[in-house]
Amino acid sequence: VAAAAAVVGGAYMTCRGAAELISTLQDKNFRRKRDRTIFIARVLICTLFRRLIHGPKRPRWTIKLEVLMAIMNAAPPPKNIHSLRRGAEVVSPLPKWANVRWTSVAGLEAAWFRGPTCPAVPVTAPNAVHPVVLYLHGGGYCLMSVRTHRTLISRIARACGGECLAIEYRLAPEHPYPAGMGDAIAAYRHLIYDLNIDPKRIVIGGDSAGGGLTLSTLLSLRELGEPMPAAAVLLSPWVDLTCSRDSWRRAKGLDYLSKEDESAGPTRLDLPRLYAGSLPLTHPHISPLNASLQSLPPMLVQLGGVEALLDEGEEFVARAREHGVEVQSTVFEDMPHVFQGFGESITGGAANVAFREIGEFIKTRCGSASSASASQANL
């Protein structure tokens, strides 16, 4: 009887909660904290009862992940870029073991993240052999920051046993392409010329738009004749700003980037156009999926199995291999866009697996330079 009552009550609450949620979403302004609390509570109740009746929405989804995706998908669309930025600028918690030092690089605010197992020598020391990751945060080229990504960046530094330099590159629409790419190139030149770090110790990486920016930076470095880094790490890279692949449709209700029409997803405020400016969205530096990829360094590409960027990511991997690029690629079943940023308790351990893979990849790719530097230092 109790079980039956729970099922009936759950069904009732799900229907009623859904109706109230629609009403809530029609009011696009959460002007009071109470309104936001009520909104989240309604989504939470609906999601929990749906899971109780029907089971998890995806086999590998934890309760935390299912609730998080429900809240992010149900949130009303922002009215403008400023409200979108306010909503996205959530400072991620910094692990107790993290070591962060803020500085300035090429006139930009930047931060060095040192892993707890990183050798206690300065990154510029002649005997320094640990990897250095130049990290470019995601955010649709228009929002977010190093502070929103500091947990993710800290975990990459810990995984690879080295240091990460993350920069606050300029954002669109105030600074459309090629401003961000120019900042990334300047930061890379700072590492190899000002700090005299061997490029074979350096990895460039990023998530989402930061992954796309990583690729456009590599393409520019190749065109400029600059020495290439040892490798690249791409987490759910945004490589096709036309957002035209079918995975955008399949991800509806599963990935927080999914879109039902042109008013949703990254196109809700036309972020691609804000970044590209007057250039076509198919430009190779805007959508690296269309670029010639020959002579680029080895890459690690991680994708979520239900994310909106899955199709373009897999197509990019195939294209890179056709162009002779060595690519290690993993699709994490049932995971959403940049799931690594949600942590292990939310992703059910998938994030831990991803960071171990990232650490091993970086150590392997930078190993030859580290061994050579260590041998030279011992002479």
Active site residues: 208, 307, 337
Write b or e for each residue in 223-249: b if 16 or more Cβ atoms lie within 10 A of its Cβ, otherwise e: eeebebbbbbbbbbbbbbbebebebbe
Q: In degrees, to the nearest 5, what angle opens at C-alpha 85 toward C-alphas 82 and 86?
A: 90
Residue 126 phi/psi, 5-degree rounding, is -60, -30
Place of tokens 């959460």: 30
271: number of Cβ within 10 Å: 24
Number of helices followed by number of strands (H, E) in the chain: 12, 8
List, as one string, the DSSP characters of 179-246. Answer: HHHHHHHHHHHIIIIIS---GGGEEEEEETHHHHHHHHHHHHHHHHTPPPPSEEEEES----TT--ST
Distance CA 229, CA 328 (A): 16
Residue 164's SS3 state is strand
The answer to whether the beta carbons of residues 290 and 284 sit under 8 Å apart is yes
